[in-house]
Amino acid sequence: MLEPYVVVLGNEKGGTGKSTIAMHLIVSLLRQGARVASVDLDARQGTLSHYVANRQKTKREYSDLLVSEHASVLASSNRDRGLADTEDEQHLTQVLERYKEYDYIVIDTPGNDTFLSRLAHSFADTLITPLNDSFIDLDMLIRLEPGDVDKLRPSTYAAMVWDQKKEKASRSGGNVDWIVLRNRLNPLYSKNKEEMHRILTLLSKRIGFRLLAGFCDRVIFRELFINGTTLLDLTDTGTALTLSHVAARKELKDLLAALEIPVQKKIKLQQLSVENERASA
């Protein structure tokens, strides 16, 4: 049986757009005909869970909206750290087992260090780490030396990702395609923006991630969350397109292509079947 392809949205800082990117990826995969499960490991805040719930409500009016099968996992409250970790591992393993026949599992993790988050990283086929375009957020990846930004030392998060990549290789022999996403970009040129790109490009070669551009900072994303919709749903929901919408959809199209999430074999077979039926009609 073909295993689900697992995409993890992760870092140890909140407010970087993980849930927004997760939902757009989920809807993109659903629209390709894939069976997609979404998992929220930040169950206490529950941004992705709320996003999915909002989408389910909007689906009552727009029945063509596609919705993922969703689960949230609340971290164990056991005071014994060892027992808590065991419970967390059991809960996540149970969820992954529940969705083992799906094509994709998209996992959103909390913006802090937890055992659940670390464990999820070790199951990633693709790890997407959104990063706001600021040196404050860059500190999540590396430690910069005052007065010399070229003295780069990996942060605890980068070290954690490295450890979980080794854990996955030991468990299954698999690799992790780690992508750092410069997100909520300012469309205007700035010296800070140029320096961020230079440092991240240098760092990508040292610790092994692909560097991509995400979304510009747009009000539309906050508006979409309320209805549980995405840029891919604008036409289906009768939304009048503005120039900002068009530009945002172009950013999304470019991002989805650059992520290079592989098309699962089952979906390819479905697509070929549809094409053959059309050809013979």
How far apart (Å, rounded) are the C-alpha atoms in residues 135 and 6? 29
- In this predicted model, what pLDDT tens digit does every residue of 45-83 receive, in sequence order? 899 999 999 999 999 999 999 999 999 999 999 999 999
Per residue in 112-170, pLDDT (tens digit) is 899 999 999 999 999 999 988 777 788 778 776 665 555 667 788 888 999 999 999 99
- What would the two tokens of residue 190 be? 């700035």
Q: What is the pTM of this model?
A: 0.90
CATH architecture of 5-280: 3-Layer(aba) Sandwich (3.40)
pLDDT at 2: 76
The answer to whether 237 and 58 have CB atoms below 8 angstroms apart is yes
Domain ranges in the chain are 5-280
Residue 56, CA distances (Å) to 44, 63, 228 in order: 20, 9, 8
**CA dihedral sign, ordered 60, 63, 68, 69:** positive
Please list, in sequence order, all residues whose beta carbon lies within 8 angstroms of the beta carbon of residue 27, skipping any fewer than 6 positions away. Answer: 66, 230, 232, 233
pLDDT digits (tens, 9 = 90+) for 244-271: 889 999 999 999 999 999 987 666 556 5
